[in-house]
Chains A and B, each alone.
Chain A
């Protein structure tokens, strides 16, 4: 099947959404799907034509055109996206993480209406502006909507009740790493945060948690892996809290190195304010690490509270208490890690994820709910 995978960002952009796509698309292309990735050129920083593991990638300057507010530039990009679609003749479009570039998908004239699958990655995916928003219109256009967790689906259905009968969950997943989980290190304990450094991820909470736990475990370390707009603020916060020397800001880590990084941690902190279903959490579980986090988005589905990790509200005192309780009971922490691994293997299996999208493509093409064929 010819599939246009339309996404706000793709390799070499890094983040859970991008890493998942970079693994999913090669897997789907091995199942008779011919895939064209349409994504943005990040203000001209990425080449307009590229290839990722034999998958063709095209990057029109969509964001730049929209930011220019120039109708002429918008018209030019629209012509470019229309030409891409007409040349490729997709049988379905998979809109991954609807965003600003969807303006061109919605406005791209084709000789026929192409069935549309939309995938939502965050419980905040649907904006508050109701139907007068681009994202709501894109999702309303979709023949089927998938969400990466039950919580994300519930939030989307609440915002747009009309999708209730044509939406479902396809859990994010991670292929089980070749590395075997190593014993949890306790001397000294190492906390790990892995992900974007953005306000919704609550890394500031992780720092405040560390400052409290460090009074009991003075040699404890926190590894902050990832980058983003909050990094300068977080580094300043660490200095202000007097814990800068206990934190390693290691920046982005290659996806291939993530299992080894997790293996070096005692537990993983995920104190998010809102979430989708974080790949880092699934990876942590597969490496038999307990998670201490907040019950938001898919985290509440990923972590069985008290069994595979501890979910508390985002207050640093509660997070710190949870961390201290696990560091003080090594057997319990270890048992939780292995329970997390078993749960991840059962619920977030890679094969299930690929099968689900494969079947979804067939379903969307076959049913073409909106039946818009011109």
Chain B
């Protein structure tokens, strides 16, 4: 994880985020791009929110998912770099006061692993800028 910050946190000057039903929804308020991370991605986001050091996230993931520590570290590094590039997080070297625990996997069985991914919706700004096709609807006698 050469060159990567030891911790990252939400870039609250430029972005908002929330975990909704097990999925992280992130919005870059400057670019208007929407993002989502589900599955292991949402787990990583929850670890970021909890102030977990990046280098310890792999252990959390490997403890609960069917993935090696090495692979988890590679995948986490990739997704954290992407979060940094998209300015959704910023480096944060202030230690968290909240200890974190590995993700619970239930009865000891490891969960199937899918690499975390940051899903971007780069067209959201354009889609929302489209004119809704409603002008004048109150003036038209639509037969019902």
* A residues in contact (CB < 8 Å) with B: 8-9, 11-15, 17-18, 22, 40, 42-43, 45-46, 52-53, 63, 66-67, 69-72, 74-75, 78, 82, 99-100, 103, 107, 109, 127, 129, 132-135, 137, 196, 198, 227-229, 251-256
- Whether a CB of chain A sits under 8 angstroms from the CB of B101 is no
Q: Is the Cβ of A13 less than 8 Å from the Cβ of B20?
A: no
Q: Is the Cβ of A71 less than 8 Å from the Cβ of B142?
A: no
CB closest chain-B residue, reference A129: B122
A127 to chain B, nearest CB (A): 4
When chains A and B are docked, how far (Å) is the Cα of A12 from the Cα of B139?
10
> Which applies to chain A's interface (DSSP): helix, strand, loop or mixed?
loop
Q: Is the Cβ of B132 less than 8 Å from the Cβ of A13?
A: yes
Q: Is the Cβ of B123 less than 8 Å from the Cβ of A127?
A: yes
* B residues in contact (CB < 8 Å) with A: 16-18, 20-23, 25, 27, 29, 32, 34, 36, 119-124, 126-128, 130-144
List residues of chain A with CB within 8 A of the CB of B18.
Answer: 71-72, 74-75
Q: Which one, B124, B139, B141, contacts A134 given CB within 8 A?
A: B124
A15 to chain B, nearest CB (A): 4
List residues of chain A with CB within 8 A of the CB of B16.
Answer: 69-71
Known: A52-B144, A63-B132, A196-B133. A251 touches B123 (CB 8 A): no
A324 to chain B, nearest CB (A): 33
Q: Is the Cβ of A9 less than 8 Å from the Cβ of B134?
A: yes
CB closest chain-B residue, reference A9: B133
A96 to chain B, nearest CB (A): 13
A251 to chain B, nearest CB (A): 6
Known: A228-B131, A252-B136. A127 touches B20 (CB 8 A): no
When chains A and B are docked, how far (Å) is the Cα of A132 from the Cα of B82?
13
Q: Which one, A45, A74, A75, A103, contacts B121 given CB within 8 A?
A: A103
For this complex, 25 residue pairs linking A to B, each with C-beta atoms less than 8 Å apart, are A9-B134, A12-B142, A13-B132, A13-B133, A13-B137, A14-B140, A17-B133, A18-B133, A42-B132, A52-B144, A69-B27, A71-B20, A71-B27, A72-B18, A75-B20, A78-B20, A103-B34, A103-B121, A107-B20, A132-B120, A133-B123, A134-B123, A198-B131, A252-B135, A254-B143
Residue picked from B16, B18, B123, most chain A C-beta under 10 Å: B123
Q: Is the Cβ of B140 less than 8 Å from the Cβ of A254?
A: yes
When chains A and B are docked, how far (Å) is the Cα of A8 from the Cα of B16?
25
Q: Is the Cβ of A74 less than 8 Å from the Cβ of B134?
A: no
CB closest chain-B residue, reference A196: B133
When chains A and B are docked, how far (Å) is the Cα of A53 from the Cα of B144?
6
Q: Which one, A8, A15, A74, A134, contacts B25 given CB within 8 A?
A: A74
When chains A and B are docked, how far (Å) is the Cα of A66 from the Cα of B135?
21
Known: A53-B144, A107-B25, A134-B123. A45 touches B131 (CB 8 A): no
Q: A12-B142, A66-B128, A103-B34 are in contact. List 12 more A-B contacts (CB 8 A).
A: A12-B138, A14-B136, A42-B134, A52-B144, A63-B128, A74-B18, A75-B20, A107-B23, A134-B123, A251-B136, A252-B135, A256-B143
